[in-house]
Structure 1
Amino acid sequence: MSSSGAIRGGRGRGGGAGWGDGGGGRGGRGGGSGGGGGGGGGGRGRGAYYKALYGGGGGGGNPKRARTEADDSPTFSSGSRTPTGTWKERPSTDLRDFLASREGASYPAYKDLLGQSWNFPSFSSSSPSTSPTWKLRADSVQSDPYAPPSKFRIWVPHSVSSIPREMWERRSPSKFRMIALADFFLRALVQSFSKASSHWEAYIRSGGGGGGGGGGGWGSNWSSGKGGQLEIDAPGQQVLDRSALRFDAEGIEARFRIGLPARGRSVLGKQAYHLLATIIPTAVQDALQYALEKEKMLWDYVAALEDSYALTSHLNNQNLVAFVANGSILPRASGASDQPMSTEGAVEFVSPSSLETEVRLPHGGVVKGMGLRKGSLTVLIGGGFHGKSTLLEALSYGSYVHVPGDGRELVRTSDSTVLIQSEDGRCVNNVDISPFIKNLPSGKSTSAFSTTNASGSTSCSASLVEAVELGSELILIDEDTTAANWLQREQAMSQLVPNEPISPFVDHVRELLVADGRVEGRSVVIVCGSSTYFLQHADHVLLLDGYRIKDVTQEAHKLFPRSKEVSAQPFPITSRSIDLSSFPRSDGRNKGTFEVPRSTRVLRIRDDRRTPPEEEPAQTQTQPQDEDLSLQLSRCVPQLVHPSQARAIAAILNQLPLRAAEWTTSGSSSGSVSLKVLVDRVDAILEGDGGVENLQFPRGGAVEGDLARPRKVDLGAVINRLRVVQMK
């Protein structure tokens, strides 16, 4: 990974000493700007403020360097993950005078931090002038204290952190080793930032060291002070390829946000120096400095993650689609928490002997557990609250590696696992749902069906066909969250209502298991709490009783004899093309953006195009409101486990129109490409050496620090639900 070269280079003088308890000499300047110690509040009208804000006045703000959030939309990289750019290398000791000279200036003066790379001395060096350095730089600076915090990054070479090479070269290193190491240090940095925030609050309560705009510290007037917050993309229970922290053979690069301190709208240079030169370095050293006492903890962590990751290859080698290790803790602490239930109240998973298999892990040795083979139908039955949906949920997240202690570390499923649920109101875009729905009263064909307001059964039909189109190998269904009339139909009802357009899923489930003419293709796991329709088709019937699992396949088939049909005709796979030119884009004419507000999983879509299809009557030529275009991803793509994945999908969607020429189907001039080919190509980019780093700013600089790699089936699921694109 070469992007860290953007903030590497030269060795500067060490330093970083505090401003000094008596260093308030620069504070009077702030009082002059604000009038009597307010720091930028008095004596200025709105015109003067906006002139300073956007005109570069008041302390050297540089408007040419100002970037909007729209400018920061990532793009696909074809080379190194971050351009080097031009950055002035400066020792951290210069930071004191740099910020002191801007004390009390209007807030845009902070933009002078752009283009500067501040070199801090090695964590344990006794000779700062000759020691290796680590670097801090600003990628973007907020124009106002009320705007989103400024984006910073650090680069810490291994010569500073003292992490030995054997940590990433030991025992068959792999690309995943770097992801695992990055995850370990990211979690350490999150904890250190939490401590740093407490230290900052204590500093403020103590008066902030005095000075700061001509009127004492913030301790006596906290309400007038802004900034100081530290934000970094905190991971959840899953280990993802993230942009928040990157680990490679040369060092560690981390990205985060800092709210630069202000009183009113004036710079608090002294407090900013304490934040950047004391609080941040202390947190960085605490998290990233290697020590012998950390070695076992670090290696145990990496080994556990690699064991989990290795299960994927074992699934393929043993013709399995899912594996659940004995001893796994599947229940969660609550319905609103992804944390494991306490071991005191949790029942460990134990495989029924009929399905027990074993795998040999690279670090953990032989592990036994339940294996579900490819091409099988498994029905989970049992009473309410006995663990059926809990097991299904664990399988739905089995595509991800989980952190040690989660309880699901050795639960693995195919990377293309898809959970099918009812989604009343979703849009459907030219999907062939005829295997399930046909002969509509309106006479409308369902072989290329579209609607902006699907019913429960229609949404289930479309979601399943789309999952098959995207190559899903494991389909998960829970009758509680699926349309009942789509799953099965009673014979008596068929007699009373002979003209039913819906052909239930149970009539096609065996067809679904056939892929490429082999009865070992896709697999289905379905939860049935009351229905018996699937029992006669099942390869395995598993009873959950108090979270303990028992194979009752033989008993079930005595009551419901096994059906003889195994269709030689596989479930039809349709392939649709997507018109990349139909994506909204920001090009001066067709304005459009995809964005995910921070801490949410809502994909907001802006589409300002006003040219309607020619066949629409003039009176219907209206554009849906933004809220009608938005997607609640936690509902429609429930297997996204972190908001950062949603943000990465938004970044991908924003760039797809720019790649239309490259990804157009050969020989076509329409700018169309197969949806399956499209998601495969995007996934190949993310699978490259840079990983999620291959999402990169179009104008240079660093990628966002809050992106995480999504699964390709989830990217496809989002595209399938967009109301602003055209499929055929």
Structure 2
Amino acid sequence: MKPSFVLRNTLRSVDHKGYPAYKGLRGTYQFSSYLLNIHHVQGDPFASPSSLSLFISGKDAGFPQELYDTPWRRTAFQDHLLRLFGKQLNRLSFQAKGSGKSGLLATSSCGQEILERSALQVNPKNGDITACFEAGFPARGRTIDARSLEKMLFDLVPKAAEASLFYKAVCQEDLIRDIHLSDDQQYIREQLPSLGLCAFVANGSILPRESGVSQKPMKDSVPFVSPETYQITLTPPHCGSITGMGIPKGITLIVGGGYHGKSTLLKALELGIYNHIAGDGREYVITDDTAVKLRAEDGRSIRRTDISLFINDLPNGKDTTSFSTEDASGSTSQAANTIEAIESGTSLFLIDEDTSATNFMIRDELMQRVVSRHQEPITPLIERIRYLYDSHGISSVLVAGSSGSFFHTADHIIQMENYRPKDITEAAKTAAKDFPAVSIPKEAPHFPDFVRCFSPNKRLLGDRRVKIKVFGKDSVSINKETIDLRYVEQLADSEQTASLGYAFLYAQLHIMNGKKTLGQVADEIMEQIRRHGLIFISGSSYPRTGLAMPRKQEILACINRYRKL
């Protein structure tokens, strides 16, 4: 560690030299209230920006320990500080000018969801803060502009840090509000199992989003109001009593006309696995955090998955207890997605008719009469959904707008009308009596044992420079092999996609051995992250931005979509 004046002197000594001279700046420097770490220096002004971090001792930062003394409080606390730090950096970015990325100051950009991120970490034992950011070291052409970098590191960065990472400088009221919100969200989440619920949607929630490319709440939207039959009141520790719709465990069907809010409600439930920031409108939309959105996914690869719960006796004689394909159909892919979701430990399916394969979902009585059961290899979900709940405790929330086949099977039926839910269970059940119910097989089906063990890819083991590239939330490539994640719809941030890429590679290099099941592999990854943090699985030797916490469900989804598994 060196005093900050050494950094200043070094900067002045390399001014107007070739850009590679910046490499000599790497190291740790003591400023008045923090340590500045220069971890990685970009090769030229047009390359990816340099990686830096600030280390502030808990004593200097001054934040009371009760703000981060539980896991959910710490995540909310880190998120709050990161948003403040990012806002300050954005305000000061590019005040130093030059070629390429000269003058850039940036850290992770947070969305509506509150996620554990590598960009800002707080030590729960002593309150030490590590805040990571990126900086574009200034240049004129490819000649060092050290005076501009001196301005960034000795003027702009200190301003950003002092305004956002010290208790005396932040708005304490806003910070405490966010910590209390996390307490209330955690309280509701913990109450769901004991109340027999799989989700809760508070009255007054704003579910519609601003647009297809914005997750901000839509202005002038209809606030959510629970039907009386599903209305419950909870008493979180800070916000007082809160009333809303409790969705019971079991099979819940959401129906209604087009554009009345069915899919909007389901989408809110999908992302209710995460806590949301104050003002989002979905702060108190809380879903079982193991919930998985199921859909058809034409063209995905499947490796040794037991889909016999849904598909048997294929005409080509292919074994469906260990099924593999490079190009799954809609029904086959949704069957595999369902089995893999069960393997991941989910206790709630979220399904939208619009994105499902019809022949996987239903097979009505007339079709059963015309095409006999022994001629159809697919056993649709409607014939298994009750078994999955009664025998394995897996609830389902389904959105349907064109088929009433699930009326007979559903425990609860909710109609969305102008974004307002109505309980129509009794009326729908009465109407359904006039229509034949789908016949359900009486014999108990074979249930998968999930003993799938894979050896690591030898090419990855022998490659010391594996390249991971992230394409938003859509995909991640490992070397040149792309893992398509477009239809893993509960990913909320591209930084989660990056984490999935590193988690997959870590599993290949350190965990998968042909003996551990995929479930055990995912559990071990989660345990390593819990113990050592996201940076550990990335293999980075220094703290950095760019990673956000995924769930076990998404880790398994990523591994299962690797075509060379």
- TM bucket by the smaller chain? over 0.9
SS in structure 2 at match of 1:513:
helix
**CA root-mean-square deviation:** 2.3
1:683 aligned residue (526, 529, 546): 526
Aligned to 2:9: 97
Q: C-alpha deviations, 1:86-121, integer Å up to 9, x for none?
A: xxx22223322110100122211111111x212222
Structure 1 residue 600, shift from structure 2 partner: 5.2
Contact kept, 8 Å, 1:429 with 1:451, in 2: the verdict is yes
Q: For 2:10, what is the secondary structure of its paired residue?
A: helix
Say whether residues 1:642 and 2:496 are aligned partners: no
- Following TM superposition, by how much is the alpha carbon of 1:647 offset from its aligned partner in structure 2, in angstroms? 0.8
State the shift of 1:154 in Å: 0.5
Question: How far apart are 1:167 and its partner, in Å?
Answer: 3.8
The 2-side partners of 1:226 and 1:134 are apart by: 25
Q: Distance in 2 between matches of 1:497 and 1:569?
A: 22
Displacement, 1:547?
A: 0.4
Q: Which amino acid aligns with 1:638?
A: E
Contact 1:226/1:264 (<8 A) preserved? no
Instruction: Tell me which residue corresponds to 1:604.
Output: 477
Residue number in structure 1 paired with 2:139: 262
1:225/1:481 CA distance change after superposition, 3 Å: closer
- Does structure 2 retain, via aligned residues, the 8 Å contact 1:515–1:571? no
1:720 paired with 2:563, answer no
- The residue that corresponds to 2:537 in the other structure is 695
* Counterpart contact for 1:594–1:654, Cα < 8 Å: no
Q: Name the counterpart of 2:262.
A: 388
Q: Is the 8 A contact 1:510 1:566 kept in 2?
A: no
2:130 paired residue number:
253
Matches of 1:659 and 1:465 in 2, distance apart? 26
Q: Would you say 1:412 and 2:286 are equivalent positions? A: yes
Query: How far apart are residue 491 of structure 1 and its match?
Result: 3.2
Residue-by-residue CA offset, 1:204-263 (whole Å, 9 max, x unaligned):
4xxxxxxxxxxxxx6xxxxx5651112211111111111100123332111111111112
SS at 1:695's partner residue? helix
Q: Would you say the 8 A contact 1:586–1:592 is kept in 2?
A: no
Q: Which residue of 2 aligns with 1:655?
A: 506
Map Cα deviations across residues 30-70 of structure 1 (whole Å, 9 max, x no partner).
Answer: xxxxxxxxxxxxxxxxxxxxxxxxxxxxxxxxxxxxxxxxx
1:549 correspondence with 2:421: yes
State the shift of 1:155 in Å: 0.9
Mapped pair 1:422 → 2:296: yes
Q: CA deviation at 1:568?
A: 8.6
Which secondary structure does the structure 2 equivalent of 1:672 belong to?
Answer: coil
What is aligned with 1:312?
Answer: 189
- The answer on whether the counterparts of 2:476 and 2:483 sit within 8 Å (CA) in structure 1 is yes
| Secondary structure of 1:580 counterpart | coil
Please name the residue that 2:29 is paired with.
Answer: 118
Q: Secondary structure at the match of 1:485?
A: helix
Which residue identity is paired with 1:135?
L
Of residues 191, 198, 207, the one that matches 1:321 is 198
What displacement does 1:693 show?
A: 4.7
Tell me what 1:507 maps to. 383
Partner of 2:237: 362
More moved, 253-262 vs 678-687: 678-687
> Are the counterparts in 2 of residues 328 and 410 from structure 1 also a CA contact under 8 Å?
yes
Cα drift, residue 458 of structure 1:
0.7
- Residue of structure 1 equivalent to 2:394: 522
Query: Contact (CA 8 Å) 2:7, 2:25: kept in 1 or not?
Result: no
- 1:708/1:193 Cα in 2 relative to 1: closer, same or farther (>3 Å)? same
1:337 aligns with 2:211: no
Label 1:314 to 1:441 Cα distance change in 2 as closer, same or farther (>3 A).
same
CA distance in 2, matches of 1:305, 1:692: 21
1:524, distance to aligned residue in structure 2 (A): 0.4
In the alignment, which residue of structure 2 is the partner of 1:151? 51
Quickly say closer, same or farther: Cα 1:654–1:369, change in 2 above 3 A.
Answer: same
Q: Distance in 2 between matches of 1:283 and 1:354?
A: 51
Q: Compute the displacement of 1:585 (Å).
A: 1.8
Aligned ranges for residues 131-530 of structure 1 at < 5 Å?
133-168=33-68, 173-197=69-93, 200-201=94-95, 204=97, 227-248=102-123, 249-291=126-168, 294-342=171-219, 345-374=220-249, 376-498=250-372, 499-516=375-392, 521-530=393-402
1:694 CA drift (Å): 4.2
Cα distance in 1 for partners of 2:187, 2:242 equals 12
SS of the aligned residue for 1:453 comes to: coil
Question: Cα 1:155–1:363, aligned 2, differ >3 Å: closer, same or farther?
Answer: same
**1:586/1:111 CA distance change after superposition, 3 Å:** farther
- State the one-letter code of the partner of 2:469: V
- Other structure's SS at 1:585 match: helix
Deviations 1:294-332 (A, max 9, x none): 111110111112211222211122232111112211111
Tell me which residue corresponds to 1:674: 517
Using the TM superposition, give the Cα deviation of residue 177 of structure 1 relative to its aligned residue in structure 2, in angstroms: 1.6
Deviations 1:139-189 (Å, cap 9, x if unpaired)?
Answer: 111122221111000012244334344544xxxx31222211111100001
User: In 1, are the aligned partners of 2:52 and 2:544 still within 8 Å (CA)?
Assistant: no
Give SS of 2:397's match: strand
Displacement, 1:567?
6.6
Equivalent residue number for residue 106 of structure 1: 18
Following superposition, the deviation at residue 706 of structure 1 comes to 1.2
Contact persistence 1:584–1:593 (CA under 8 A): no
1:550 partner amino acid: K
> Which amino acid in the other structure matches residue 410 of structure 2?
A
Deviation sequence 1:527-567 (CA, Å, 0-9, x none): 11010100000100100000011000000110113979797
> Residues of 1 paired with 2:292 and 2:170: CA distance?
42
Within 5 Å, which residues of 2 pair with 1:55-74?
none
CA contact (8 A) 1:594 1:603 kept: no
1:41: which partner in 2? none
Rounded to whole Å, the distance in 2 between the matches of 1:268 and 1:478 is 56
Partner of 1:56: none
CA contact (8 A) 2:506 2:537 kept: no
Q: Which runs of 5+ in 1 are unaligned?
A: 1-88, 122-132, 205-217, 219-223, 607-625, 665-670
Change (3 A) 1:463 1:362: same
**How far apart, CA to CA, are the structure 2 residues paired with 1:571 and 1:445?**
14
Equivalent residue of 1:630, what SS?
strand
> Distance in 2 between the 1:424 and 1:681 partners?
30
Q: Label 1:717 to 1:371 Cα distance change in 2 as closer, same or farther (>3 A).
A: same
Deviation at 1:267?
1.4
- Is contact 1:139–1:152 with CA below 8 Å preserved after alignment? yes
**Using a 3 Å threshold, how does the CA distance of structure 1 residues 693 and 359 change in structure 2: closer, same or farther?**
farther
CA 639–578 in structure 1, closer or farther in 2 if over 3 Å, else same: same
Supply the distance in 1 between the matched residues of 2:149 and 2:79 (Cα, whole angstroms). Answer: 29
Deviations 1:617-662 (A, max 9, x none): xxxxxxxxx3xx41332x22111100111111111111123323xx
Cα shift at 1:399: 0.8
Q: Secondary structure at the match of 1:577?
A: coil
What per-residue deviation string (whole Å, max 9, x for no partner) do you get for residues 560-604 of structure 1? 13979797947723313232323642535xx78362336554211
Q: Which amino acid aligns with 2:516?
A: V
TM-score when normalising by structure 2: 0.93
594 and 382 in structure 1: CA distance in 2 versus 1, 3 angstrom threshold: farther
Q: Which residue, out of 466, 472, 486, partners 1:593?
A: 466
Contact in 1 for aligned 2:201/2:245 (Cα 8 Å): yes
